[in-house]
Amino acid sequence: MAVRVTVNAREHTLDVESDMPLLWALRETLGLTGTKFGCGISACGACTVHLNGRPVRSCTLPVSRADGGTITTIEGLAQDGVLHKVQQAWLEHQVPQCGYCQSGMIMAVAALLQDHPAPTDDEIDAGITNICRCGTFVRVRRAIHALARA
């Protein structure tokens, strides 16, 4: 099946099986390996990307559901060589430990801040369900609150 998508502002026609998870189309077909495989059941969030401006877990989303859509991955979040404000806050607040889950976490937080520019702790808890095995949640929350104050 030919799937047409715009990924990080570049148009692509992918000749892949319609039920292939979007994650594997991004990683294996397009070579965008910043989006990570974690659990394979949409539980951990390491695979989070934006589809048409909304965060989605790409490990279980069939690529056919993205046909005609616009996708942003961690590789496309920065613009013109300038880090996205969430990426910059992650550096300033030393959020990552091992870093494996952080591309998905950053994508989830970027989406949360679009809808809630100054989120409460309850909104953060409801909106950021990504799992960090290293337990950097305190630093994640600190970075989000710092962005809200900026």
Q: Which domains, from first to last, does the chain contain?
A: 2-77 (3.10.20.30), 85-149 (1.10.150.120)
Query: How far is 114 from 32, CA to CA, in rounded Å?
Result: 24
Looking at residue 122, what is its pLDDT?
96
* CA angle at 36 for the pair 95 and 82, rounded to the nearest 5°: 55
Looking at residue 91, what is its pLDDT?
96
The residues facing 72 across adjacent strands are 50
What parts of the chain have a pLDDT lower than 50?
none
Looking at residue 81, what is its pLDDT?
94
Looking at residue 150, what is its pLDDT?
79
Query: How far is 67 from 134, CA to CA, in rounded Å?
Result: 35
Q: Which two tokens stand for residue 81?
A: 């060589």
